């Protein structure tokens, strides 16, 4: 997120003729950054690069913020898919073989994530709901894909770039991607639909949000410049290196996307019985 945000900040600075400063405020499921944004003037001068986390965090933890009620969606910036990977010791060379193995051994395999309620965690839960399987969730404070490569945990749903070296040297086996179509970096790998599992389209996304009551004209102007920036040759090349796709949606399109994500993950959290800790 940091690298992409800085690249976009440079482009927006050029478009608006002023410096755009990136201020990293991580922590508390994005609540720290949201607090700052909520108290900022609704003039388009303070924006936040958001991801799925502020959508799912209130579904699991107490939060005074609602992304659509309290803020103004400006533009979805980019999207990135995940890849189902297993340790080579797992006796499955396809998604359906993995499903069969999991059904025969419920709860015996572990899958890792970057924390409870994180996009990777929810992707793993969606997979279990979609396939009627059960694994043990092992949350980490951050990415720890070396633990899959070592066999400490057996299954993961990482981004391609985070585990590409492990895929190249054979320490991890990829089975399918969560994108609607095949990834150019792994053209031989099927989508989940092609592999026989429906309902497994998952895209990690990033998007700009503004303080509530930001004028529509301001949001639309920023969205227009964001789309131009994200589809520039420089940004397209940068995103391709991260196996990501540029988006640059309108405020209304981004708001609709957030609603759809809220509905999907609310359903998954309820069906999987996930609770914040």
Residue after which a domain boundary falls, among 142, 173, 195: 195
Residue after which a domain boundary falls, among 169, 195, 221: 195
Contact (Cβ atoms closer than 8 angstroms) between residue 153 and residue 71? no
Residues 124-155: tens digit of each pLDDT: 999 999 999 999 999 987 667 788 888 899 99
Same domain, 15 and 109: no
Mean pLDDT of 156-185: 93
Same domain, 109 and 152: yes
Same domain, 93 and 146: yes
Same domain, 156 and 124: yes
For residues 62 and 178, which has the higher predicted lDDT (pLDDT)? 178
**Three-state secondary structure string covering 224-260:** HHHHHHHCCHHHHHHHHHCCEEECCCCHHHHHHHHHH
Mean pLDDT of 257-266: 96
Tally of domains in the chain: 2
Same domain, 216 and 254: yes
Phi/psi of residue 203, each to 5°?
-125, 120
Same domain, 49 and 91: no
Retrieve residue 132's tokens.
Answer: 């009627």
Same domain, 171 and 92: yes
Mean pLDDT of 234-248: 92
Same domain, 154 and 207: no
- Tell me what the pLDDT averaged over the chain comes to: 94
| Confidence band for 107, pLDDT divided at 50, 70 and 90 | very high
Containing domain of residue 256, as a range?
A: 2-78+203-272
Same domain, 189 and 243: no
CATH of the domain at 43: 3.40.190.150
Residue 85: pLDDT over 80: yes
pLDDT, residue 212, reads 97
Residue 190 DSSP label: P
């Amino acid at each position: 997120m940091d690298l992409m945000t800085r690249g976009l900040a440079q482009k927006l600075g050029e478009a608006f003729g002023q410096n755009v400063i990136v201020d990293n405020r991580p922590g508390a499921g994005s609540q720290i950054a949201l607090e700052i944004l909520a108290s900022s003037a609704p003039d388009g001068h303070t924006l936040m690069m958001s991801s799925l986390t502020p959508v799912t965090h209130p579904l699991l933890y107490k939060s005074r913020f609602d992304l659509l009620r309290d803020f103004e969606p400006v533009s979805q910036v980019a999207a990135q898919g995940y890849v189902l990977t297993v340790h080579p010791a797992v006796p499955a060379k396809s998604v359906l073989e993995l499903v069969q193995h999991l059904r025969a051994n419920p709860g015996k395999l572990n899958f890792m994530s970057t924390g409870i309620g994180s996009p990777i965690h929810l992707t793993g839960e969606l997979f279990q709901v979609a396939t009627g399987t059960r694994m043990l969730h092992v949350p980490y404070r951050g990415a720890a894909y070396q633990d899959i490569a070592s066999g400490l945990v057996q299954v993961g749903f990482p981004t391609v770039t985070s585990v590409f070296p492990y895929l190249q040297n054979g320490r991890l086996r990829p089975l399918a991607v969560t994108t609607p179509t095949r990834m150019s970096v792994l053209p031989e790998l099927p989508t989940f639909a092609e592999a026989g599992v429906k309902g497994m389209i998952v895209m990690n996304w990033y998007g700009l949000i503004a303080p509530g009551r930001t004028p529509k004209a301001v949001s639309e102007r920023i969205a227009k410049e964001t789309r131009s920036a994200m589809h520039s040759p420089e940004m397209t090349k940068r995103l391709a290196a991260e196996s990501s796709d540029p988006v640059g949606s309108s405020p209304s399109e981004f708001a609709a996307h957030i609603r759809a994500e809220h509905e999907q993950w609310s359903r998954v959290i309820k069906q999987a019985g996930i609770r914040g800790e």
